[in-house]
Structure 1
Amino acid sequence: MRLFVAVIVLHIVISRAFELKNFTFGDHDYQSLQNILHESNKKCPEISQIYTLTEKSVEGRDLIVIEFTADRPGTHIAGKPEFKYVGNMHGNEVVSREVLLALVAYLCQGYQEKDPEVVWLLQNTRIHILPSMNPDGWELANSRPRKNGQKPWLDGRANAKNVDLNRNFPEVDKLEYKYEKLENGLNNHIMSLKKALSVPGLAPETRAVIKWLYSIPFVLSSNLHGGDLVANYPYDESRDDRQGSQYSASPDDHLFRHLAKSYSKHHPSMADPMRKPCDMSGDQGLPEFKDGITNGASWYSVSGGMQDFNYLATNCFEITLELGCDKFPYPEEEKQYWKDNKASLLNYMFQVHNGIKGVIQSDGKRIPNATIKVVKMPSGSPIKHDVLSGKQGDYYRLLLDGDYKVRVIAEGFHPEERCIAVANKHMQPAQVVNFDLIPSNEEKPNKQSMCVPTKQLDLSSGTEQKLQDSLYDRIYGDYVYNTNDNQWFNYLQRILQTATGN
């Protein structure tokens, strides 16, 4: 009888309990964009806050963010992950701008109407929405006349100084590719804020977002675009530019593929293999996107992109979403784009609760900048991308279902590790795994630890129920096996030897 291996297939049904009310679809200019944010904040003041990034656009427009959370908006709370959506990075790609404005109204309405999924999200997540990163580009694109029903392909894509914001971030990929060749090369936070801001040629919009990324401990994010229909994941830049487009996997490649599919599979046509591809005239041809996803560099190499900067310079995992073939559809078509993307937008936000989270401390004092390393079990293969604990000592590590060994390292303390089994569930917070470190000037107790891969546990039906319950409680009740109880340790070893035939 298999005691621990239980595969539960969850069909995630995103809320369809209510329709968006009192929201007018159409091309929202700078003033009407602000009006929607302020109206939502006025309707839902207890769960929202509006703020602007630290620098304005080239032409002096604010980069306005609205935040939603059910407890103390404006405050980071340890244990509550931070999520963000960024739209309209290319000013002429307006679908993202419009669906994010609709999402703003939807979250406010859903909380007021006590929709269970919206309420759960806001109670357990801090959500930030920047509907337009390039308001100047939108103004230029909107001013251009249509020809044969289409706006010009490039007008308004860049900012007011003709800078493509998605090619304007510090180029961290090449730096990381150099570190990969070193045995203990840096694999995270590879650029300080000071260094990032010192890179020449940064647009004010780019500088504003960089400072934003370093000021809030974001865990998961997406930037939304238009011109194709696909979910794109890191890395965006090829490891060898001489070879052109090539698959450039990150250490979290399997996780990123899952994140991309969590969006594409909830979209009515993004993952449809029979859909007609976009006509990318004069662009990169007509690629085929299996499951509606693509590795960025495999599609075409991008240097200075925002998604890779998020992943390599901060703790934030980000993907890029292309929401449709038409960059600037007619206003009357925008409602359908919202309907097509609503379920995906909501489902993607739930992914911020996958994996593990916790607090790193010592004798009650929180420890920032501790390094959290993860090893896959039973293979023992490290995921060569660490995350760091934040100012409050809290950390968040997105992970797929499976067995892992988690090791925490902090200067001035003995390293500590835990063996965990991750089993992600919809509308359930990430598993809590806290660490209490011992100062390095104190003797560390001699602990024996052993990771127990769930798939290796296949106990015979003759095993006593009491033993089964005890094993389950020790391994799954706390999701941790790390003990100095030698009797228990030897007992478990004998069971495993019997179960595996060793």
Structure 2
Amino acid sequence: MDCASLWLVLLLPVVAALDFRYHHQQEMEAFLKKVAQDYSSITHLHSIGKSVEGRNLWVLIVGHSPKEHRIGIPEFKYVANMHGDESVGRELLLHFIEYLVTSNGRDPEVTNLINNTRIHIMPSMNPDGFEAVLNPDCFYNKGRENSNSYDLNRNFPDAFEFNNVSRQPETVAVMKWLNTETFVLSANLHGGALVASYPFDNGVPATGTLYSRSLTPDDDVFQYLAHTYASKNPDMKKRKPCKTKIDSPSGIVNGYFWYPLKGGMQDYNYIWAQCFEITLELSCCKYPREEKLPGFWNDNKDSLLEYMKQVHIGVKGQVFDQNETPLPNVIVEVQDRKHICPYRTNKFGEYYLLLLPGSYVIEVTVPGHNPHLTKVTIPPKSQNFSALKKDILLPFRGQLDHIPESNPLCPMIPLYRDLQGHSVATKPSLFLFLVTLFHILFK
């Protein structure tokens, strides 16, 4: 390192090292505000709403342009402590924030990731529940639910059956948050098991429930994402690491196969927010002793970073009319994996599609025009923290006033209830077969 580089490093801000213990609301807020103050050029702290008891639901954004979306830069998020007594994820995200901001400008990989990704981190979705835990237990504590005694991971609209529960302030805040950003990839952090669970959590025969599973049209991508996280976690890869009935080859499991649930957040993200989300169960004990926290950080740091990098797989771009005017709210999907809520461009005409390497046909649909088809080939590796960039120029002038502002095909009702068939979800996955075979041969 030359003198100029050394001087630059010395000028970078230094945040006081975060200790490995549980941080309650006041301490967590103080840490987040200190980070936002010391690293103001790459962070932005805001509250997306308040809990039942009036506590802020804090989100820290890390990125080269933290206060606003930049075209071509994908939005990523981590959410933890949805169940208030599942505490490990909350502390991991605080340490992950510290790791990101202190590594920026020092670690090339982290620096590139921050420059090319807008990262949203919510350490606690259920701060009231966390504060309600009085005598921590590994299995069940009072603070699992929010202050109105609602399980927040059963509180979202459900695509398979009516979920007529009272929508809670924390849930409403997250739903509104999802509408304000173009989130592409996400994970929510839980505890009580060691496994990466992927959608769907609920299902119908058309999604494969007759085979004890419920799979999305993007099942290959979801299994890849779950495997990416689990493969970097030494304990998650073990078969039955928590001595439970779950048998998860290589540390991943389909949510419905594990146990069906109604009103889950990961299904809502995928169906209504166009955001791929998985659920990470990070500890056999829901509220382990504080001296265990350094071990959890060591086991999950690489996984948290590697999973976030996957927001740069697949293809992205903008859709323009012949005058090169961006077209918002037009449908952009891969021809053979259409979503029951069609994925649409945002207000900048952007689309992001997470795909594994291979050849695909992208179908763009604008009301009043025939579908426009574009062939793309996704390379084996993403290029310099970027998905394959493919802008699509349509051979007509877009009548923007006639493109609906909202998605009329996606009401908050059980969308899959009357679906008769599902070409992808009812077929066994080659990826799952290969992962299972590898596990059998080399366990």
The interval holding the TM-score normalised by the smaller chain is 0.7 to 0.9
Report what 1:368 is aligned to.
328
SS in 2 for 1:64: strand
Deviation at 1:77, TM superposition (A): 1.0
Give the stretch that moved more between structures: 246-255 or 161-170.
246-255
Deviation at 1:151, TM superposition (A): 5.1
Residue of 93, 96, 100 corresponding to 1:103: 96
With normalisation by structure 2, the TM-score equals: 0.82
Give matches, 1:247-326, under 5 Å.
Answer: 247-273=213-239, 277-279=241-243, 285-326=244-285
CA–CA separation in structure 1 for the residues paired with 2:249 and 2:16: 35
- Mark the runs of 5 or more structure 2 residues left unpaired by the alignment: 1-14, 400-443
Residue of 388, 393, 407 corresponding to 1:431: 388
Letter in 1 for 2:143: G
User: Alpha carbons of 1:440 and 1:40: their partners in 2 closer, same or farther (altered >3 Å)?
Assistant: closer
Report what 2:59 is aligned to.
65
Report what 2:24 is aligned to.
29
Deviation at 1:411, TM superposition (A): 2.2
Give matches, 1:222-241, under 5 Å.
Answer: 222-239=187-204
With normalisation by structure 1, the TM-score equals: 0.72
Alignment of 1:415 with 2:409, yes or no, is no
Alignment of 1:161 with 2:133, yes or no, is no
Letter in 2 for 1:22: A
Letter in 2 for 1:123: N
The number of equivalent residue pairs is 379
Alignment of 1:214 with 2:179, yes or no, is yes
Letter in 2 for 1:369: N
Deviation at 1:334, TM superposition (A): 0.7
SS in 1 for 2:59: strand
CA–CA separation in structure 2 for the residues paired with 1:139 and 1:21: 24
Asked whether the 8 Å contact 1:415–1:437 carries over to 2, the reply is no
Letter in 2 for 1:79: G
Deviation at 1:156, TM superposition (A): 0.5
Deviation at 1:440, TM superposition (A): 6.8
Asked whether the 8 Å contact 1:93–1:328 carries over to 2, the reply is yes
Letter in 1 for 2:317: G
Deviation at 1:436, TM superposition (A): 1.2
Letter in 1 for 2:328: P
- Mark the runs of 5 or more structure 1 residues left unpaired by the alignment: 1-19, 176-195, 280-284, 376-381, 443-502
CA–CA separation in structure 1 for the residues paired with 2:75 and 2:297: 23
Give the stretch that moved more between structures: 414-423 or 74-83.
414-423
User: Alpha carbons of 1:303 and 1:23: their partners in 2 closer, same or farther (altered >3 Å)?
Assistant: same
Deviation at 1:69, TM superposition (A): 0.6
Deviation at 1:413, TM superposition (A): 4.6
Residue of 107, 114, 128 corresponding to 1:122: 114
Asked whether the 8 Å contact 2:139–2:285 carries over to 1, the reply is no
Report what 2:410 is aligned to.
none
Give matches, 1:61-210, under 5 Å.
Answer: 61-70=55-64, 72-112=65-105, 114-141=106-133, 143-144=134-135, 146=136, 150=137, 153-174=140-161, 201-210=166-175
Structure with greater Cα Rg: 1
Asked whether the 8 Å contact 2:155–2:165 carries over to 1, the reply is no
Asked whether the 8 Å contact 2:113–2:385 carries over to 1, the reply is no
CA–CA separation in structure 1 for the residues paired with 2:160 and 2:194: 25
SS in 1 for 2:56: coil
Asked whether the 8 Å contact 1:265–1:291 carries over to 2, the reply is yes
CA–CA separation in structure 1 for the residues paired with 2:394 and 2:184: 23
Asked whether the 8 Å contact 2:74–2:184 carries over to 1, the reply is yes
Letter in 2 for 1:339: N
CA–CA separation in structure 1 for the residues paired with 2:73 and 2:174: 21
CA–CA separation in structure 2 for the residues paired with 1:218 and 1:430: 15
User: Alpha carbons of 1:152 and 1:317: their partners in 2 closer, same or farther (altered >3 Å)?
Assistant: closer
CA–CA separation in structure 1 for the residues paired with 2:203 and 2:97: 35
CA–CA separation in structure 2 for the residues paired with 1:21 and 1:56: 28
CA–CA separation in structure 2 for the residues paired with 1:277 and 1:245: 25
User: Alpha carbons of 1:441 and 1:246: their partners in 2 closer, same or farther (altered >3 Å)?
Assistant: closer
Letter in 2 for 1:384: K
SS in 1 for 2:185: strand
Deviation at 1:341, TM superposition (A): 0.2
Taking every aligned residue pair, what percent have the same amino acid on both sides? 42
SS in 2 for 1:323: strand
RMSD across aligned positions (CA): 2.1
Asked whether the 8 Å contact 1:228–1:324 carries over to 2, the reply is yes
